[in-house]
Structure 1
Protein backbone atom coordinates (compact mmCIF):
# COMPACT_ATOMS: atom_id res chain seq x y z
CA UNK A 1 0.00 0.00 0.00
CA UNK A 2 2.79 2.37 0.93
CA UNK A 3 4.64 1.38 -2.26
CA UNK A 4 1.56 2.27 -4.35
CA UNK A 5 1.22 5.68 -2.68
CA UNK A 6 4.93 6.31 -3.21
CA UNK A 7 4.63 5.49 -6.91
CA UNK A 8 1.65 7.86 -7.36
CA UNK A 9 3.46 10.63 -5.49
CA UNK A 10 6.59 10.16 -7.59
CA UNK A 11 4.61 10.28 -10.85
CA UNK A 12 2.73 13.39 -9.72
CA UNK A 13 5.95 15.17 -8.79
CA UNK A 14 7.53 14.19 -12.09
CA UNK A 15 4.54 15.48 -14.04
CA UNK A 16 4.57 18.74 -12.10
CA UNK A 17 8.30 19.16 -12.73
CA UNK A 18 7.75 18.55 -16.45
CA UNK A 19 5.06 21.23 -16.61
CA UNK A 20 7.29 23.74 -14.80
CA UNK A 21 10.21 22.93 -17.10
CA UNK A 22 8.01 23.43 -20.17
CA UNK A 23 6.81 26.81 -18.90
CA UNK A 24 10.35 27.93 -18.13
CA UNK A 25 11.49 26.86 -21.61
CA UNK A 26 8.61 28.76 -23.24
CA UNK A 27 9.50 31.89 -21.28
CA UNK A 28 13.17 31.58 -22.18
CA UNK A 29 12.50 31.09 -25.89
CA UNK A 30 12.50 34.48 -27.67
CA UNK A 31 9.38 35.38 -29.66
CA UNK A 32 10.13 35.76 -33.36
CA UNK A 33 8.87 39.05 -34.80
CA UNK A 34 8.47 39.62 -38.52
CA UNK A 35 9.24 42.99 -40.06
CA UNK A 36 7.90 44.05 -43.45
CA UNK A 37 8.72 46.93 -45.77
CA UNK A 38 7.45 47.86 -49.25
CA UNK A 39 10.04 45.79 -51.08
CA UNK A 40 11.94 46.99 -54.13
CA UNK A 41 11.74 50.69 -54.88
CA UNK A 42 12.32 50.22 -58.60
CA UNK A 43 9.09 51.64 -60.00
CA UNK A 44 7.94 52.06 -63.57
CA UNK A 45 5.50 54.92 -63.98
CA UNK A 46 3.18 55.50 -66.92
CA UNK A 47 2.82 59.17 -66.10
CA UNK A 48 5.49 60.75 -68.33
CA UNK A 49 4.20 64.23 -67.48
CA UNK A 50 5.42 63.82 -63.90
CA UNK A 51 8.99 64.47 -65.07
CA UNK A 52 8.17 68.20 -64.79
CA UNK A 53 6.58 67.91 -61.37
CA UNK A 54 8.48 69.72 -58.62
CA UNK A 55 6.95 70.02 -55.17
CA UNK A 56 7.73 70.49 -51.51
CA UNK A 57 6.50 67.59 -49.38
CA UNK A 58 5.59 68.30 -45.76
CA UNK A 59 5.85 65.67 -43.04
CA UNK A 60 2.88 63.33 -43.40
CA UNK A 61 0.35 63.76 -40.59
CA UNK A 62 -1.05 60.61 -38.95
CA UNK A 63 -3.49 59.76 -36.14
CA UNK A 64 -2.09 58.37 -32.90
CA UNK A 65 -2.81 54.79 -34.00
CA UNK A 66 -0.36 55.12 -36.92
CA UNK A 67 2.50 56.82 -35.12
CA UNK A 68 4.33 53.55 -34.45
CA UNK A 69 5.26 50.66 -36.73
CA UNK A 70 2.43 48.29 -35.75
CA UNK A 71 0.61 46.42 -38.52
CA UNK A 72 -3.09 47.06 -37.95
CA UNK A 73 -6.21 45.15 -38.97
CA UNK A 74 -9.98 45.19 -38.53
CA UNK A 75 -12.35 42.22 -38.28
CA UNK A 76 -15.27 43.59 -40.30
CA UNK A 77 -17.38 40.53 -39.57
CA UNK A 78 -16.91 40.91 -35.81
CA UNK A 79 -16.27 44.55 -34.89
CA UNK A 80 -15.36 46.92 -37.70
CA UNK A 81 -14.72 49.77 -35.27
CA UNK A 82 -11.93 47.99 -33.40
CA UNK A 83 -8.42 48.54 -34.78
CA UNK A 84 -6.10 45.72 -33.69
CA UNK A 85 -2.32 45.24 -33.99
CA UNK A 86 -0.67 42.00 -35.09
CA UNK A 87 1.21 40.57 -32.12
CA UNK A 88 4.31 39.32 -33.95
CA UNK A 89 4.39 41.34 -37.20
CA UNK A 90 5.40 44.97 -37.69
CA UNK A 91 6.36 47.41 -40.43
CA UNK A 92 10.07 48.18 -40.70
CA UNK A 93 9.26 51.87 -40.06
CA UNK A 94 6.12 53.93 -39.36
CA UNK A 95 3.61 54.10 -42.27
CA UNK A 96 4.24 57.83 -42.83
CA UNK A 97 7.90 57.13 -43.56
CA UNK A 98 7.07 54.22 -45.87
CA UNK A 99 4.66 56.43 -47.83
CA UNK A 100 7.05 59.38 -47.99
CA UNK A 101 9.80 57.17 -49.42
CA UNK A 102 7.42 55.68 -51.98
CA UNK A 103 6.10 59.07 -53.16
CA UNK A 104 9.62 60.44 -53.57
CA UNK A 105 10.66 57.34 -55.49
CA UNK A 106 7.72 57.57 -57.89
CA UNK A 107 8.30 61.23 -58.72
CA UNK A 108 12.11 61.16 -58.71
CA UNK A 109 12.38 58.09 -60.93
CA UNK A 110 10.07 59.81 -63.42
CA UNK A 111 12.41 62.80 -63.56
CA UNK A 112 10.54 65.08 -61.17
CA UNK A 113 11.73 66.43 -57.85
CA UNK A 114 10.46 66.18 -54.29
CA UNK A 115 12.04 68.52 -51.76
CA UNK A 116 11.49 69.27 -48.09
CA UNK A 117 10.70 72.70 -46.70
CA UNK A 118 13.99 72.52 -44.81
CA UNK A 119 15.90 72.44 -48.12
CA UNK A 120 15.39 76.18 -48.41
CA UNK A 121 13.83 76.10 -51.87
CA UNK A 122 11.09 78.68 -52.42
CA UNK A 123 8.32 79.27 -54.95
CA UNK A 124 7.29 75.63 -55.14
CA UNK A 125 3.83 74.30 -54.24
CA UNK A 126 3.65 72.52 -50.88
CA UNK A 127 1.94 69.14 -50.61
CA UNK A 128 0.48 68.18 -47.25
CA UNK A 129 -0.86 64.67 -46.65
CA UNK A 130 -3.02 63.44 -43.77
CA UNK A 131 -3.02 59.66 -43.54
CA UNK A 132 -6.41 58.46 -42.29
CA UNK A 133 -6.47 54.68 -42.92
CA UNK A 134 -3.62 52.22 -43.35
CA UNK A 135 -4.85 48.78 -42.33
CA UNK A 136 -5.99 45.32 -43.38
CA UNK A 137 -9.73 44.59 -43.32
CA UNK A 138 -11.04 41.04 -42.87
CA UNK A 139 -14.47 40.50 -44.43
CA UNK A 140 -14.31 36.88 -43.19
CA UNK A 141 -11.68 34.73 -41.44
CA UNK A 142 -10.31 33.71 -44.84
CA UNK A 143 -10.71 36.89 -46.93
CA UNK A 144 -9.13 40.31 -46.50
CA UNK A 145 -8.08 43.45 -48.31
CA UNK A 146 -5.90 46.40 -47.37
CA UNK A 147 -7.46 49.85 -47.11
CA UNK A 148 -5.49 53.04 -47.70
CA UNK A 149 -6.90 56.57 -47.41
CA UNK A 150 -5.27 59.99 -47.22
CA UNK A 151 -6.27 63.63 -47.65
CA UNK A 152 -4.02 65.70 -49.90
CA UNK A 153 -3.80 69.49 -49.74
CA UNK A 154 -1.86 71.58 -52.24
CA UNK A 155 -0.73 74.93 -50.84
CA UNK A 156 1.08 77.90 -52.35
CA UNK A 157 1.97 81.15 -50.59
CA UNK A 158 -0.10 80.06 -47.59
CA UNK A 159 -3.20 79.64 -49.76
CA UNK A 160 -5.06 76.40 -50.36
CA UNK A 161 -4.96 75.57 -54.06
CA UNK A 162 -6.80 72.26 -54.04
CA UNK A 163 -7.72 69.40 -51.74
CA UNK A 164 -8.75 65.82 -52.42
CA UNK A 165 -9.19 62.50 -50.62
CA UNK A 166 -7.53 59.46 -52.18
CA UNK A 167 -8.70 55.96 -51.28
CA UNK A 168 -7.65 52.57 -52.62
CA UNK A 169 -8.03 48.96 -51.61
CA UNK A 170 -6.28 45.81 -52.77
CA UNK A 171 -7.23 42.19 -52.14
CA UNK A 172 -4.77 40.14 -50.07
CA UNK A 173 -3.57 36.80 -51.41
CA UNK A 174 -3.61 35.36 -47.88
CA UNK A 175 -5.61 36.31 -44.81
CA UNK A 176 -2.64 37.06 -42.58
CA UNK A 177 0.06 39.65 -41.94
CA UNK A 178 2.14 38.47 -44.90
CA UNK A 179 -0.83 38.92 -47.23
CA UNK A 180 -1.38 42.44 -45.91
CA UNK A 181 2.30 43.30 -46.29
CA UNK A 182 2.24 42.18 -49.93
CA UNK A 183 -0.97 44.04 -50.81
CA UNK A 184 -0.26 47.38 -49.11
CA UNK A 185 2.53 48.46 -51.52
CA UNK A 186 0.20 47.71 -54.45
CA UNK A 187 -2.56 49.84 -52.95
CA UNK A 188 -0.02 52.56 -52.20
CA UNK A 189 1.30 52.61 -55.77
CA UNK A 190 -2.25 52.97 -57.12
CA UNK A 191 -2.95 55.88 -54.79
CA UNK A 192 0.36 57.57 -55.62
CA UNK A 193 -0.35 57.24 -59.35
CA UNK A 194 -3.67 59.02 -58.84
CA UNK A 195 -1.98 61.62 -56.63
CA UNK A 196 0.67 62.42 -59.25
CA UNK A 197 -1.95 62.79 -62.00
CA UNK A 198 -3.95 65.13 -59.75
CA UNK A 199 -0.89 67.18 -58.80
CA UNK A 200 0.17 67.52 -62.42
CA UNK A 201 -3.29 68.78 -63.36
CA UNK A 202 -3.28 71.33 -60.56
CA UNK A 203 0.25 72.58 -61.23
CA UNK A 204 -0.06 72.85 -65.01
CA UNK A 205 -3.53 74.41 -65.06
CA UNK A 206 -2.24 77.67 -63.55
CA UNK A 207 -4.03 77.01 -60.29
CA UNK A 208 -0.85 77.87 -58.40
CA UNK A 209 -1.04 81.46 -59.62
CA UNK A 210 -4.85 81.53 -59.47
CA UNK A 211 -5.91 79.65 -56.33
CA UNK A 212 -9.20 77.81 -56.60
CA UNK A 213 -10.53 75.47 -53.97
CA UNK A 214 -11.35 72.03 -55.33
Structure 2
Protein backbone atom coordinates (compact mmCIF):
# COMPACT_ATOMS: atom_id res chain seq x y z
CA UNK A 1 0.00 0.00 0.00
CA UNK A 2 1.38 3.47 -0.86
CA UNK A 3 2.16 6.18 1.70
CA UNK A 4 -0.73 8.19 0.37
CA UNK A 5 -3.12 5.29 0.88
CA UNK A 6 -1.93 4.81 4.51
CA UNK A 7 -2.57 8.49 5.45
CA UNK A 8 -5.97 8.87 3.87
CA UNK A 9 -8.01 7.19 6.67
CA UNK A 10 -6.28 9.26 9.39
CA UNK A 11 -6.84 12.45 7.47
CA UNK A 12 -10.49 11.52 7.00
CA UNK A 13 -10.92 10.88 10.72
CA UNK A 14 -9.34 14.22 11.62
CA UNK A 15 -11.63 15.95 9.15
CA UNK A 16 -14.66 14.22 10.63
CA UNK A 17 -13.67 15.26 14.12
CA UNK A 18 -13.21 18.85 12.98
CA UNK A 19 -16.63 18.78 11.35
CA UNK A 20 -18.25 17.50 14.56
CA UNK A 21 -16.50 20.19 16.64
CA UNK A 22 -17.57 22.90 14.23
CA UNK A 23 -21.15 21.66 14.15
CA UNK A 24 -21.30 21.50 17.96
CA UNK A 25 -19.89 25.01 18.27
CA UNK A 26 -22.40 26.33 15.76
CA UNK A 27 -25.28 24.67 17.63
CA UNK A 28 -24.13 26.19 20.95
CA UNK A 29 -23.83 29.60 19.31
CA UNK A 30 -27.34 29.34 17.94
CA UNK A 31 -28.67 28.21 21.32
CA UNK A 32 -27.05 31.16 23.11
CA UNK A 33 -28.33 33.54 20.47
CA UNK A 34 -31.82 32.15 20.88
CA UNK A 35 -31.67 32.63 24.65
CA UNK A 36 -30.74 36.26 24.15
CA UNK A 37 -33.50 36.90 21.61
CA UNK A 38 -36.38 35.24 23.49
CA UNK A 39 -38.09 37.65 25.94
CA UNK A 40 -37.83 37.01 29.66
CA UNK A 41 -40.91 35.57 31.34
CA UNK A 42 -42.73 38.43 33.12
CA UNK A 43 -42.98 38.13 36.92
CA UNK A 44 -46.23 36.77 38.31
CA UNK A 45 -48.54 39.43 39.69
CA UNK A 46 -49.06 39.42 43.46
CA UNK A 47 -52.70 38.82 44.39
CA UNK A 48 -54.40 40.18 47.51
CA UNK A 49 -57.82 39.81 49.11
CA UNK A 50 -59.76 41.21 52.07
CA UNK A 51 -60.12 37.97 53.99
CA UNK A 52 -63.36 36.16 54.69
CA UNK A 53 -64.39 38.28 57.67
CA UNK A 54 -65.51 37.05 61.10
CA UNK A 55 -68.95 37.23 62.71
CA UNK A 56 -69.36 40.55 64.51
CA UNK A 57 -71.45 41.47 67.56
CA UNK A 58 -74.62 42.53 65.71
CA UNK A 59 -77.76 40.96 67.20
CA UNK A 60 -79.12 38.11 65.09
CA UNK A 61 -82.54 39.77 64.89
CA UNK A 62 -80.96 42.80 63.15
CA UNK A 63 -78.85 40.85 60.67
CA UNK A 64 -79.95 41.47 57.06
CA UNK A 65 -81.27 38.61 54.97
CA UNK A 66 -78.74 39.40 52.26
CA UNK A 67 -76.17 42.01 51.27
CA UNK A 68 -75.77 43.38 47.73
CA UNK A 69 -72.78 45.56 46.82
CA UNK A 70 -72.49 47.52 43.57
CA UNK A 71 -69.69 49.73 42.25
CA UNK A 72 -68.99 52.19 39.41
CA UNK A 73 -67.37 51.04 36.18
CA UNK A 74 -63.81 51.91 37.22
CA UNK A 75 -64.05 49.53 40.19
CA UNK A 76 -65.48 46.62 38.19
CA UNK A 77 -62.07 45.00 37.70
CA UNK A 78 -59.30 43.52 39.84
CA UNK A 79 -56.93 46.49 39.45
CA UNK A 80 -55.46 47.97 42.63
CA UNK A 81 -56.00 51.72 42.29
CA UNK A 82 -53.93 54.44 43.90
CA UNK A 83 -53.56 58.22 43.70
CA UNK A 84 -50.45 60.36 44.29
CA UNK A 85 -51.75 63.43 46.08
CA UNK A 86 -48.38 65.18 46.18
CA UNK A 87 -47.82 64.69 42.45
CA UNK A 88 -50.89 64.56 40.19
CA UNK A 89 -53.93 64.17 42.49
CA UNK A 90 -56.44 64.12 39.62
CA UNK A 91 -54.87 61.05 38.04
CA UNK A 92 -56.09 57.56 38.98
CA UNK A 93 -53.36 54.95 38.65
CA UNK A 94 -53.13 51.17 39.02
CA UNK A 95 -50.30 48.90 40.13
CA UNK A 96 -48.77 46.95 37.25
CA UNK A 97 -47.70 43.79 39.10
CA UNK A 98 -50.33 43.66 41.86
CA UNK A 99 -54.06 42.98 41.74
CA UNK A 100 -57.07 42.02 43.83
CA UNK A 101 -58.24 38.42 43.87
CA UNK A 102 -61.72 39.61 42.79
CA UNK A 103 -63.57 42.84 42.13
CA UNK A 104 -63.64 45.07 45.25
CA UNK A 105 -67.46 44.93 45.41
CA UNK A 106 -67.45 41.11 45.49
CA UNK A 107 -64.78 41.00 48.20
CA UNK A 108 -66.57 43.64 50.26
CA UNK A 109 -69.88 41.76 50.00
CA UNK A 110 -68.24 38.62 51.39
CA UNK A 111 -66.81 40.51 54.38
CA UNK A 112 -70.09 42.30 55.13
CA UNK A 113 -72.12 39.10 54.90
CA UNK A 114 -69.85 37.38 57.41
CA UNK A 115 -69.45 40.35 59.76
CA UNK A 116 -73.17 41.17 59.82
CA UNK A 117 -74.34 37.55 59.92
CA UNK A 118 -76.43 37.87 56.77
CA UNK A 119 -79.18 35.28 56.53
CA UNK A 120 -79.13 34.45 60.24
CA UNK A 121 -81.86 36.74 61.50
CA UNK A 122 -84.14 39.38 59.99
CA UNK A 123 -85.51 39.63 56.50
CA UNK A 124 -84.44 43.14 55.42
CA UNK A 125 -82.13 43.69 52.46
CA UNK A 126 -78.96 45.75 52.74
CA UNK A 127 -77.81 47.47 49.56
CA UNK A 128 -74.35 49.05 49.46
CA UNK A 129 -72.95 51.36 46.80
CA UNK A 130 -69.14 51.36 46.83
CA UNK A 131 -68.05 54.79 45.58
CA UNK A 132 -64.28 54.74 46.25
CA UNK A 133 -61.72 52.06 46.96
CA UNK A 134 -58.23 53.46 46.44
CA UNK A 135 -54.88 53.97 48.13
CA UNK A 136 -53.88 57.60 48.66
CA UNK A 137 -50.20 58.57 48.74
CA UNK A 138 -49.57 61.76 50.73
CA UNK A 139 -45.82 61.30 50.34
CA UNK A 140 -43.48 58.68 48.89
CA UNK A 141 -43.35 56.92 52.27
CA UNK A 142 -46.87 57.60 53.59
CA UNK A 143 -50.19 56.30 52.28
CA UNK A 144 -53.64 55.29 53.46
CA UNK A 145 -56.61 53.27 52.23
CA UNK A 146 -59.75 55.23 51.37
CA UNK A 147 -63.12 53.49 51.30
CA UNK A 148 -66.34 55.43 50.62
CA UNK A 149 -69.73 53.71 50.64
CA UNK A 150 -73.44 54.54 50.72
CA UNK A 151 -75.95 52.04 52.01
CA UNK A 152 -79.67 51.59 52.52
CA UNK A 153 -81.90 49.09 54.30
CA UNK A 154 -84.99 47.82 52.49
CA UNK A 155 -87.94 46.00 54.09
CA UNK A 156 -89.04 42.48 53.25
CA UNK A 157 -91.67 43.87 50.88
CA UNK A 158 -91.38 47.12 48.96
CA UNK A 159 -88.61 49.20 47.45
CA UNK A 160 -88.79 52.21 49.75
CA UNK A 161 -85.75 52.23 52.08
CA UNK A 162 -86.31 52.24 55.82
CA UNK A 163 -83.12 54.22 56.33
CA UNK A 164 -79.96 55.18 54.49
CA UNK A 165 -76.53 56.54 55.38
CA UNK A 166 -72.95 56.89 54.12
CA UNK A 167 -69.51 56.29 55.56
CA UNK A 168 -66.00 57.28 54.56
CA UNK A 169 -63.17 55.27 56.09
CA UNK A 170 -59.49 56.20 56.04
CA UNK A 171 -56.92 53.70 57.32
CA UNK A 172 -53.16 54.30 57.40
CA UNK A 173 -51.10 51.73 55.50
CA UNK A 174 -48.20 50.08 57.35
CA UNK A 175 -46.03 50.36 54.22
CA UNK A 176 -46.25 52.67 51.22
CA UNK A 177 -46.79 49.96 48.60
CA UNK A 178 -49.43 47.54 47.33
CA UNK A 179 -48.88 45.10 50.21
CA UNK A 180 -49.36 47.87 52.76
CA UNK A 181 -52.44 49.11 50.92
CA UNK A 182 -54.01 45.65 50.96
CA UNK A 183 -53.39 45.38 54.71
CA UNK A 184 -54.99 48.79 55.28
CA UNK A 185 -58.06 47.84 53.22
CA UNK A 186 -58.58 44.73 55.35
CA UNK A 187 -58.82 46.92 58.43
CA UNK A 188 -60.92 49.53 56.60
CA UNK A 189 -63.53 46.99 55.49
CA UNK A 190 -63.84 45.66 59.04
CA UNK A 191 -64.34 49.23 60.25
CA UNK A 192 -67.01 49.79 57.60
CA UNK A 193 -68.79 46.61 58.69
CA UNK A 194 -68.68 47.73 62.32
CA UNK A 195 -70.04 51.14 61.30
CA UNK A 196 -72.94 49.58 59.41
CA UNK A 197 -73.67 47.27 62.36
CA UNK A 198 -73.87 50.27 64.68
CA UNK A 199 -76.10 52.07 62.17
CA UNK A 200 -78.46 49.07 62.05
CA UNK A 201 -78.61 49.07 65.85
CA UNK A 202 -79.34 52.81 65.95
CA UNK A 203 -81.99 52.44 63.23
CA UNK A 204 -83.70 49.67 65.19
CA UNK A 205 -83.88 51.92 68.24
CA UNK A 206 -85.13 54.93 66.28
CA UNK A 207 -88.04 53.23 64.49
CA UNK A 208 -91.31 52.66 66.41
CA UNK A 209 -91.40 48.98 67.19
CA UNK A 210 -87.88 48.50 65.85
CA UNK A 211 -86.90 46.81 62.62
CA UNK A 212 -89.09 43.84 63.42
CA UNK A 213 -92.15 45.99 64.06
CA UNK A 214 -94.93 46.56 61.52
CA UNK A 215 -93.63 43.76 59.32
CA UNK A 216 -90.53 45.69 58.34
CA UNK A 217 -87.88 42.99 58.65
CA UNK A 218 -89.96 40.09 59.93
CA UNK A 219 -90.04 37.18 57.51
The answer on 1:126 being equivalent to 2:137 is no
Rate the CA distance shift 1:74–1:186 in 2: closer, same or farther, 3 A: same
Query: Which residue is 2:107 aligned to?
Result: 98
Query: Which residue is 1:33 aligned to?
Result: 45
Q: What is the deviation of 1:165?
A: 0.8
2-side partners of 1:73 and 1:92: how far apart? 17
Query: Which residue is 2:97 aligned to?
Result: 88
RMSD: 2.5
Structure with more of its chain in strand, by fraction? 1
Q: Which consecutive residues of structure 1, in runs of 5 or more, have no partner in the other structure?
A: 1-17, 116-120
Query: Which residue is 1:9 aligned to?
Result: none
Query: Which residue is 1:65 aligned to?
Result: 74
Aligned residue for 2:89, secondary structure, equals strand
Q: Which consecutive residues of structure 2, in runs of 5 or more, have no partner in the other structure?
A: 1-31, 215-219
Scaled by the length of structure 1, what TM-score is found? 0.74
Query: Which residue is 1:188 aligned to?
Result: 189
2-side partners of 1:20 and 1:83: how far apart? 40
1-side partners of 2:205 and 2:123: how far apart? 13
Q: What is the deviation of 1:58?
A: 4.7
Larger Rg: 2
Aligned residue for 2:129, secondary structure, equals strand
Q: What is the deviation of 1:30?
A: 2.9
2-side partners of 1:63 and 1:76: how far apart? 22
Aligned residue for 2:70, secondary structure, equals coil
The answer on 1:165 being equivalent to 2:166 is yes
Aligned residue for 1:80, secondary structure, equals coil
Aligned residue for 2:151, secondary structure, equals strand
| Contact 2:55–2:116 (CA under 8 A) maintained in structure 1 | no
Query: Which residue is 2:145 aligned to?
Result: 146
Query: Which residue is 1:136 aligned to?
Result: 135
| Contact 1:162–1:202 (CA under 8 A) maintained in structure 2 | yes
2-side partners of 1:114 and 1:96: how far apart? 19
Q: What is the deviation of 1:91?
A: 0.5
Q: What is the deviation of 1:59?
A: 2.8
Aligned residue for 2:59, secondary structure, equals helix
Rate the CA distance shift 1:124–1:85 in 2: closer, same or farther, 3 A: same
| Contact 2:68–2:126 (CA under 8 A) maintained in structure 1 | no
Q: What is the deviation of 1:162?
A: 1.3
